[in-house]
Structures are given as structure tokens and as C-alpha cells.
């Protein structure tokens, strides 16, 4: 990662992280989600009553206002991103904003009616290259670490319906084949995400 800073766009804070060169990424974000090379990640604060139907376009507008170029990843949250929690562990760096709202949800819950929710967004940079399969595995690792942190804090849920994750690794070097919580990189990732979320609960 080349830079990590908070900027203001139309008065709203945006957490920006840029890389010197493209990194290989996996993300569930509305802008730049999927798998591929990415140059930057942003996490933008919006109001709790945010109702734009084109969040991907909104995020692209924010990126343009910040002068970000090339493919990137964009997330939204009602949490003030200035409250981001950074954690580092064995070369892994995690930046997490934690909001659970009034009604956290269970992954296998039966609620069909939309509820006011918060958002837990995690941006994670790994020190070593992973295979695509291992990178997919790290998404599960982040989800498990999040659920553990919420359980330990007595939160009645595994997260919120709008949680997002971005995990990035170098595009060169020998590729690790595992990203689960008992692999070296996965274990560090789990500890970093878990610690960042617990610090805000």
C-alpha cells in the first residue's frame, strides 16, 4: 500500500488506500467487486438514510473527485470512517469500520423485511501472493473472524446484510495455496480483523 488517508468529498469523510502498482484482489464491494487487479480501495461515509439506487456510480464519482484512476474498489457505510480501526499482524494490515445498527442479523435468519442496519467493512492487505482459491478462502476467514468477534461481544447476530470485504495481495512471488484460519497468512488475517472489530464493540 502506498498511501492511507482520510479525505473529504462534499463534506463527507472517505477512507482512501492506494497502491503503487496493481494488487490482486477479491471483493464483495458494489464498485470493483469480484476478482482481479485493483489500484485503490475507498470506504465512504454516507448518511443513515442513504437511498441512492446507483451506489456504484456514486462511488465512481467519489473516486473521480479524488483523482483515483484505474480499476479500484469502493464501499459505503453509515459509520464515520474516521473511526476506522487499523490492525497489523505478521505483515497483514486490516482497516475495519464497524457498525451493527439497531438490528444485527443472523446469516441463516428468516427476516424477509428490510431493517435499519449498520455495516462492517473490512479492507485487508496481505504480505504474500495467494492462489485464487486461497484468496477466496480468505473471505471465509474474515467472515469467521467477524462472527467470532460479534459472538464474544454478545451481539445477537453474525453481521449485517450490507457488510463488505476487500482483500488484496501482491501479484508476484510464490503463491500460498491456503488462506484459512490455520494457514500462516489466514491466521494473521483472522487475528487482525477480529481485533479491529472487538475494539469497536
Nearest Cα neighbor of 146 from 98, 79, 114 is 98
Confidence of residue 32 (pLDDT cuts 50, 70, 90): very high
User: For 63-86, what is the mean pLDDT?
Assistant: 96
Cβ-based neighbours of 134, under 8 Å, separated by 6 or more: 175, 176, 177, 178, 179, 183
User: For 14-32, what is the mean pLDDT?
Assistant: 97
Range in 107-111, 134-138, 173-177 the model is least confident about: 107-111
Partners of 165 in the β-ladder:
122
Q: Are 122 and 166 in contact (CB under 8 A)?
A: yes
User: For 10-31, what is the mean pLDDT?
Assistant: 96
Give the C-alpha separation, 87 to 102, whole Å: 26
User: For 138-152, what is the mean pLDDT?
Assistant: 98
Predicted confidence at residue 185, as pLDDT, reads 98
With H, G, I as helix, E, B as strand and everything else as coil, classify residue 43: strand
> Higher pLDDT residue, 63 or 103?
63
Number of domains the chain is built from: 1
Q: Could you tell me the residue range of the domain that residue 25 belongs to?
A: 3-198
User: For 11-31, what is the mean pLDDT?
Assistant: 96
Q: Grid coordinates 497489523 are at which residue?
A: 88
Predicted confidence at residue 118, as pLDDT, reads 77
What pLDDT, in 10s, does the model give residues 79-125? Answer: 999 999 999 999 999 999 999 877 788 899 876 555 556 799 999 99
Amino acid at each position: 500500500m502506498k498511501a492511507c488517508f482520510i479525505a473529504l468529498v462534499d463534506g463527507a469523510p472517505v477512507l482512501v488506500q492506494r497502491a503503487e502498482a496493481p494488487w490482486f484482489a477479491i471483493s464483495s464491494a458494489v464498485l470493483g467487486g469480484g476478482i482481479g487487479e485493483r489500484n485503490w480501495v475507498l470506504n465512504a461515509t454516507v448518511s443513515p438514510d442513504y437511498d441512492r439506487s446507483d451506489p456504484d456510480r456514486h462511488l465512481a464519482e467519489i473516486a473521480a473527485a479524488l483523482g483515483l484512476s484505474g480499476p479500484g474498489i469502493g464501499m459505503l457505510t453509515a459509520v464515520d470512517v474516521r473511526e476506522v480501526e487499523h490492525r497489523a499482524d505478521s505483515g497483514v494490515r486490516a482497516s475495519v469500520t464497524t457498525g451493527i445498527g439497531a438490528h444485527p442479523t443472523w446469516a441463516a435468519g428468516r427476516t424477509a423485511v428490510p431493517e435499519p442496519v449498520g455495516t462492517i467493512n473490512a479492507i485487508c492487505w496481505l504480505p504474500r501472493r495467494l492462489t485464487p482459491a486461497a484468496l477466496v478462502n480468505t473471505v471465509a476467514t474474515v467472515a469467521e473472524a467477524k462472527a467470532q468477534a460479534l459472538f464474544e461481544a454478545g451481539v445477537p447476530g453474525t453481521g449485517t446484510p450490507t457488510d463488505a470485504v476487500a482483500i488484496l495481495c501482491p501479484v508476484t512471488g510464490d503463491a500460498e495455496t491456503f488462506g484459512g484460519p490455520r494457514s500462516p497468512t489466514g491466521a494473521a488475517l483472522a487475528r487482525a480483523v477480529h481485533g479491529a472489530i472487538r475494539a469497536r464493540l
